[in-house]
Amino acid sequence: MREPESGTAGRYARVTPARSPVPAVAFALLAPFAVAAYLTSATALEAFFCPPSAWKSGTLGSVASLQVGVFLIVLCVAILVIRTSTRIGERKLSPAFALLRTIAKNDYYCSTTMLYSLLVIAAVWINYWQSYYYVEPDGIVVRAGITATPRTTTWGDVKAVEARCAITKTGLEGGLTITLDNGKTIPLRLKTGAVGSAPGDYAPIRAALAGAHYKFSLAPSVTQNACPPELYLVFPAWVFPAWVFPAWGH
């Protein structure tokens, strides 16, 4: 009795090799490092523009814009993980995850989404990097984004100074919020000196403001519990002459 012949298609059936899960795992592990590098580089590079004569520098970038960048980084990594994963089949998924799978598995949707996301991430990063200030003996230099040019203001352009304190993870901190004539506010986090002495970075800034006409005020946070002891002593005497309150040293 003859055995039935198997068809050519069955004899030469194409076997699809199993996809390795390594790429998906690698992309998943990449996410925290990408986010950390993104945030660290964006917040640390404002000092790149500061001359050696600058007392202090800081960023004026929007934290919300960085959050948008972080969201897009996570989105790109998720798309790459889904695209290279071997465990995501046609099972019933939530609408959001189903949309991600559709984007990841479609070449056009995937490449378009990744391209525009990377462009937005780069634009946000550059704009944050270009939003900075630095304080010099002659005044304050401010740049408010990639489309703006650096603007130098003299200490005479200062219209208001507010002292503030805060309880942070590293301890008690104090600072000044300087308001310029154009309404721009500059938050300064400054170092303090020893109790009873000229309080570190505050003394030269007070001396630079000596000829300016500005309003000085204390924020509600300036309390004995929230301020470093040396600042709680000198903040209320900011406007006093040095001969009245010699702790300023000027």
Q: What residues contact 33, with CB distance under 8 A and at least 6 apart? A: none
Question: Do 104 and 26 fall within a single domain?
Answer: yes
208 vs 192, more confident: 208
Instruction: Identify whether 17 is part of a domain.
Output: no
Please give the tally of structural domains in the chain. 2
Q: Where do runs of H (alpha helix) occur along 55-153?
A: 63-84, 95-105, 107-129
Supply the pLDDT for residue 31. Answer: 73
Q: Which of 69-78, 129-138, 185-194 has the highest mean pLDDT?
A: 69-78
Question: Do 44 and 94 fall within a single domain?
Answer: yes
Supply the pLDDT for residue 202. Answer: 75
Question: Do 127 and 221 fall within a single domain?
Answer: no
Question: Do 117 and 164 fall within a single domain?
Answer: no
Instruction: Identify whether 179 is part of a domain.
Output: yes
Asked if residues 229 and 173 have their Cβ atoms less than 8 Å apart, the reply is: no
43 vs 174, more confident: 174
The pLDDT of residue 146 is above 70: yes
Structure tokens at 176: 């000044």
Question: Do 108 and 159 fall within a single domain?
Answer: no
Quick: pLDDT tens for 124-138: 888 888 888 888 888
Question: Do 110 and 43 fall within a single domain?
Answer: yes
In which domain, by residue range, is 31 found?
A: 22-132
In angstroms, the Cα distances linking 163 to 22, 138, 183, 188, 227 are: 54, 21, 17, 10, 10
Structure tokens at 110: 């995937």
Rounded to an integer, the average pLDDT of 224-247 is 67
Task: Look over the chain and give the mean of its residue pLDDT values, rounded to a whole number.
Answer: 75
Supply the pLDDT for residue 241. Answer: 55
Instruction: Identify whether 16 is part of a domain.
Output: no
Instruction: Identify whether 144 is part of a domain.
Output: no
Question: Do 124 and 196 fall within a single domain?
Answer: no
The alpha carbons of the chain give a radius of gyration, in whole angstroms, of 29
Instruction: Identify whether 13 is part of a domain.
Output: no
196 vs 238, more confident: 238
Please tell me the distance from the alpha carbon of residue 54 to that of residue 47, in angstroms, as a whole number. Answer: 9
Question: Do 155 and 92 fall within a single domain?
Answer: no
Which of 39, 40, 57, 38 is CA-nearest to residue 48?
A: 57
Rounded to an integer, the average pLDDT of 203-212 is 80
Supply the pLDDT for residue 94. Answer: 75
Containing 34, the helix (H) or strand (E) segment is helix 22-44
Please tell me the distance from the alpha carbon of residue 215 to that of residue 162, in angstroms, as a whole number. Answer: 8
Please tell me the distance from the alpha carbon of residue 125 to that of residue 119, in angstroms, as a whole number. Answer: 10
21 vs 23, more confident: 23
Residue where a domain terminates, one of 77, 104, 132: 132
What global pTM score does this model have? 0.64
Instruction: Identify whether 214 is part of a domain.
Output: yes
226 vs 15, more confident: 226
Supply the pLDDT for residue 66. Answer: 84
Instruction: Identify whether 137 is part of a domain.
Output: no
Question: Do 101 and 181 fall within a single domain?
Answer: no
Identify the DSSP state of 93: -
Position 106 confidence tier, pLDDT thresholds 50, 70, 90: confident
Give percent of the chain with pLDDT exceeding 90: 4
Question: Do 128 and 160 fall within a single domain?
Answer: no
